[in-house]
Amino acid sequence: MTPSVPFTDFKAHVRGLRGELDAAIARVLESGWFILGPEGEALERELAEAFGSAHCVGVGNGTDALQLALEALGIGAGDEVVTSPLSAAFSGLAIVRAGARPVFADVDDETLTLSPAAAEAAITDRTRAVMPVHLYGHPADMEEFLELAHARGLRLVEDACQAHLARVGGRAAGTIGEVGALSFYPTKNLGALGDGGAVLTGSDEIAGRVRQLRNGGQSDRYHHDLPGTNSRLDELQAAVLRVGLRHLRAWNERRRALAALYTAELEGTALRLPREQPWARAVWHLFVVRHPRRDALREALERRGVATLIHYPLPLHVQKAFAALGGRAGDFPVAERACGEVLSLPLYPEMSDEEARRVAAAARAALAEIG
């Protein structure tokens, strides 16, 4: 059946911005400049200002942002990077593409982000970096990771692809470690009309290296000094993102309001609700509830016209792509249990309060049905 409440509504999103988007796209078409031009440069400046970062470098997508961040730090063959098994596979794949080895560690049961204690236990003499993932729009405990990285002499890379302008102690996720990565996949809080990504850093050296690596390792035209790649955010996407960036704070506030509404409506039910930690300001990229009978709950919600998704049903250490690492079921019980329980409810800025209440009512009815 066609859901009465969709998981997201891209048409409504674009419709609300259509005039601004048309003007931005026309500006690029009239300029005749489509790669590494003024729109990309302006976006980098505006993102750096919005996030409070000294530098921002636009790249082709979020995976490239993570890979190039690692490469810019000199991390590669023979090195290990500790990260979370509960994330989109691209987090781990970026480490592999950089030539390093992902080492997974279990997650915190409250935030479902990488556990600092578990990460520390996973460190070996080959560990070069730790890469927490700011999952579902809630940041990881960066104060703990800063202490860990300092104590153990590790580089600190943030996967902030799902956490645009989430904050820890007043600082934006992605700007707390040495380098952070953003994704502008269309579903993100700040999404392009295609793919895109960016690297944030306070280091002149790291920013310069990422700029070189994203453009084939060129020091100047036709002089390739590094084995770089081709990962350049195009001018059309940059112009689109500049439009969205003007609205990002308002969109995030709307997401926070909807999350608060869900919490009020679903408090006291059998659902385990996500909780914003006292030290964090979440931006609710996803509103993820947990239930031991997740699949039955999802089917009952679907019958009531509510679309849901699962982020993520299979932890990375048991994915075939990472089989060479030797991971087995049972290695990370918190992450594995969560993968069997998590269910993402609809939440997007264009969603009305009435629609959110309809989802909550459907959830209460579905819970009563499945017992």
Per-residue pLDDT of the chain (371 residues; tens, 9 = 90+): 567 899 999 999 999 999 999 999 999 999 999 999 999 999 999 999 999 999 999 999 999 999 999 999 999 999 999 999 999 999 999 999 999 999 999 999 999 999 999 999 999 999 999 999 999 999 999 999 999 999 999 999 999 999 999 999 999 999 999 999 999 999 999 999 999 999 999 999 999 999 999 999 999 999 999 999 999 999 999 999 999 999 999 999 999 999 999 999 999 999 999 999 999 999 999 999 999 999 999 999 999 999 999 999 999 999 999 999 999 999 999 999 999 999 999 999 999 999 999 999 999 999 999 98
Length of the chain as a residue count: 371
CA dihedral 70, 74, 78, 79 (to 10 degrees): -50
Write b or e for each residue in 92-103: b if 16 or more Cβ atoms lie within 10 A of its Cβ, otherwise e.
Answer: bbbbbbbebbbb
Task: Please give the CATH topology (third level) of the domain spanning 10-242.
Answer: Aspartate Aminotransferase; domain 2 (3.40.640)
- Angular region, 366: left φ>0, alpha ψ -120 to 50, beta rest: alpha
How far is C-alpha 84 from the chain's CA centre?
13
Q: What angle do the packed helices 294-303 and 353-370 form, to 10 degrees? A: 120
Which are the contacts of 299, defined by CB distance < 8 A and separation ≥ 6? none
What one-character-per-residue DSSP string does 228-267 give?
--B---BHHHHHHHHHHHHHHHHHHHHHHHHHHHHHHHHT
Identity (one letter) of the amino acid at 57? V
Q: Considering only CA atoms, which of 133, 185, 172, 189 is closest in space to residue 347?
A: 189
- Angular region, 216: left φ>0, alpha ψ -120 to 50, beta rest: left
Identical fold for domains 10-242 and 247-370, yes or no, is no
Q: Is there a contact between 89 and 321 (Cβ–Cβ < 8 Å)?
A: yes
Q: What is the pTM (predicted TM-score) of this model?
A: 0.97
What per-residue confidence (pLDDT) applies to 371? 87
Measured CA distances, 237 to 183, 195, 227 (Å): 12, 8, 26
Looking up tokens 């309809």, which residue turns up?
Answer: 358
What per-residue confidence (pLDDT) applies to 2? 62
Q: Considering only CA atoms, which of 277, 287, 316 is closest in space to residue 103?
A: 316
Please give the radius of gyration of the chain, using alpha carbons only, rounded to the nearest integer. 21
Any idea where the domains of the chain sit in the sequence? 10-242, 247-370
Backbone angles phi, psi at 200, to 5 degrees: -110, 140
As a whole number of angstroms, the distance between CA 291 and CA 306 comes to 16
Strand order in the sheet with 171-172: 171-172, 167-168, 280-281
Element counts in the chain: helices (H) and strands (E): 11, 14
- Tokens representing 285 are 């990229």
Which are the contacts of 246, defined by CB distance < 8 A and separation ≥ 6? 20
Looking up tokens 């679903």, which residue turns up?
Answer: 266
Q: Which CATH architecture has domain 247-370?
A: Alpha-Beta Complex (3.90)
Q: Is there a contact between 198 and 47 (Cβ–Cβ < 8 Å)?
A: yes
What per-residue confidence (pLDDT) applies to 3? 74
As a whole number of angstroms, the distance between CA 104 and CA 317 comes to 7
As a whole number of angstroms, the distance between CA 250 and CA 41 comes to 24
What per-residue confidence (pLDDT) applies to 169? 92
Q: Is there a contact between 225 and 218 (Cβ–Cβ < 8 Å)?
A: yes
Q: Is there a contact between 282 and 139 (Cβ–Cβ < 8 Å)?
A: yes
